[in-house]
Chains A and B, each alone.
Chain A
């Protein structure tokens, strides 16, 4: 198409593109995201605006991301923000097929949302913090504890140390002292078994032939996840801003 454009058409197209860019708001990355790139830059809004006169700092939806409903549900975050969830769906199916109680199935379904939707580092703590206002206390506790327990085998309950951890972290990898301390606390806790079940049903060997649909768990979510009427992010809960950050990760302030 470029080949048949006259130079006047090209100039028009270029001008239009520039106008579009100018109308788009300026999205900057947060310090944490830049640090994860090893980048110590601190974006300067005023300088960015000077370079693009007329453009405003982004305070709403990021046009690069799918739109979300005004009152988003957990399902909406799975659909519009989280990465593919097949690992979680397979884990939840595994727990359900083993006859686990619904709250263990829910915990298996949600245990890695920190990985597929938020921050990988210490993902069990992040995931627990996000869901805490909406699920049974035992579910929150188990999601947090799975972060530590997955490093410690419990053969009696069917959990060997995962082979792929050796591959990923090396044979010599030892969990850090805060994980070791968490393990000791969790090992003696009344809900140890619940968290241990997350690790037992944590399907490390992703099976490409087992295809599970999120909709199979609609009822379990409905009965065990207290979806706020206002939508996740807008219920003034202690974790509402975390869901809002997922909705608008580049909001300027």
Chain B
């Protein structure tokens, strides 16, 4: 199509594109900049706007991201914000095949949502916090615990230290002391086995031939994830702003 554009059409298209780009100014959050090793102060929005009088700082939807429904569900976040979730689907299916109770299937399905959708470091703590108002307390506890338990083998259930961790972190890697302390607390907890089951069904060796669909778990989600009527992000829960940050990660304030 570009080939048959006249020169003036091309100029118009370019101008329209520039106007769209001038429409909004994105100022990066401190946390995002630091993850690039950038400690410089954020650009001054006022100054940028003096240069581009048509521009505004971004306070609404981000035009670079897919639009989300007004009342988004967990499924919508899987579809429009999370990265590929085959690892989670395979884990959840593994748990179904092993006849685990539904809430454990849900825990397996959600255990890494922070990795695929939010913040990687300490992803078990972040993931647990994201879902806490919407799931059984034991599910939250188990998602938090898997962050820690995955570093510690438990031969009684056939969980060995993952080979992939040796590759990723080196043979000499030792978990931080806060992880070690949480492990001791969790090892003695009444829900230890719930956290442990997540690690048992955590499929490290991604199988390219197994393709579960998210829709297979629609009923498990429906029965075990208390989707707020107002939509995730708009229910005034203690974590609503965290879901909103995923909807609009570059909102100015």
Interface residues, chain A, with chain B CB atoms under 8 Å away: 27-33, 35-38, 40, 42, 45-46, 49, 56-57, 59-60, 62, 64-66, 81-84, 115-123, 125-126, 129, 147, 164, 167-170, 173, 177-178, 181-182, 233-234, 236, 238, 240-241, 244-246, 248-253
Residue in B34, B123, B244 whose beta carbon sits within 8 Å of that of A65 in the complex: B34
- B interface residues (Cβ-Cβ under 8 A, vs A): 26-32, 34-37, 39, 41-42, 45-46, 49, 56-57, 59, 62, 64-65, 81-84, 115-123, 125-126, 129, 147, 167-170, 173, 176-178, 181-182, 185, 233-234, 236, 238, 240-241, 244-246, 248-253
Report yes or no: A115 in contact with B121, Cβ–Cβ below 8 A.
no
Interface-centre pick from A37, A126, A249 (highest chain B CB count, 10 A): A249
Tell me, in angstroms, the Cα distance from A224 to B64 when the chains sit together: 42
Is A32's CB under 8 angstroms from B240's CB? no
Given A31-B119, A123-B253, 5 further pairs, Cβ under 8 A = A29-B36, A84-B41, A116-B30, A129-B241, A253-B147
Contact between chains at B32 and A252 (CB < 8 Å)? no
9 A–B pairs (Cβ distance < 8 Å), ordered by A: A29-B32, A30-B121, A32-B118, A33-B249, A56-B168, A119-B29, A119-B31, A168-B57, A241-B129
List the A side residues contacting B81 at CB < 8 Å. Answer: 31, 35
Tell me the smallest distance from the CB of A218 to a CB of chain B, in Å. 23
A49 engages B30 (CB within 8 Å): no
Q: Of the candidates A28, A33, A118, A241, which one forms a contact with B126 in the assembled complex, judged by CB atoms under 8 Å apart? A: A241
- Bound-state CA distance A169–B83 (Å) is 31
> Which residues of chain A are within 8 angstroms of B35 by Cβ–Cβ distance?
27, 29-30, 33, 249-250
- Do the beta carbons of B167 and A31 come within 8 Å of each other? no
Report the bound CA distance from A249 to B123 in whole Å.
12
Residues in A whose Cβ lies below 8 Å from that of B120: 28, 30-31, 251-253
Q: How far is the CB of B141 from chain A (nearest CB, A)?
A: 13
- Which residues does chain B contribute within 8 Å of A233, judged by CB atoms? 178
B-side contacts of A234, CB under 8 Å:
177-178
CA distance A49 to B170 in the complex (A): 12
Docked Cα-Cα span, A115 to B233, in Å, equals: 19
| Contact between A169 and B39, CB atoms less than 8 A apart | no
Cβ-neighbour of B123 out of A56, A126, A173, A253 (below 8 A)? A253
**Do A36 and B241 form a contact, CB below 8 Å, given A62-B37, A167-B49, A241-B125?**
no
Contacts of B244 in A (CB 8 A): 121-122, 178
For A178, the chain B residues whose CB sits under 8 A away are 233-234, 236, 240, 244
Chain B neighbourhood of A60, CB < 8 A: 176
- 8 Å CB contact of B169 from A40, A57, A241, A250: A57
Nearest CB on B from A113, distance (A): 9
Which residues from chain B contact A84 at a C-beta distance below 8 Å? 41
A65 contacts which chain B residues (CB < 8 A)?
34, 37, 39
Q: Are A38 and B65 in contact (CB under 8 A)?
A: yes
* Smallest CB-CB A-B distances: 3 pairs: A38-B64, A64-B37, A251-B121
**B182 near A236 (CB under 8 angstroms)?**
yes
Contact yes or no, A117 B30, CB < 8 A: yes
- Indicate whether A182 sits within 8 Å of B236 (C-beta atoms), given known contacts A126-B241, A249-B31: yes
B contact residues around A147 at 8 Å (CB): 253
Q: How far, in Å, is A64 (CB) from chain B's closest CB?
A: 3
> In chain B, what residue has the closest Cβ to A112?
B253
Among residues of B, the one whose C-beta sits closest to the C-beta of A151 is B253
Contact residues in A for B65 (Cβ distance below 8 Å): 35, 38
A228 to chain B, nearest CB (A): 12
**CA–CA, A106 to B101, complex, Å?**
47
Q: Are B249 and A35 in contact (CB under 8 A)?
A: yes
Do B252 and A168 touch (CB < 8 A)?
Answer: yes
Cα A62 to Cα B115 with chains together (Å): 18
Give the Cβ gap from A142 to chain B, nearest Cβ, in Å: 16
Does the CB pair B248–A121 fall under 8 Å? yes
Picked from A57, A62, A122, the residue with its CB within 8 Å of the CB of B245 is A122
Contacts of B29 in A (CB 8 A): 36, 118-121
Contacts of B251 in A (CB 8 A): 120-122
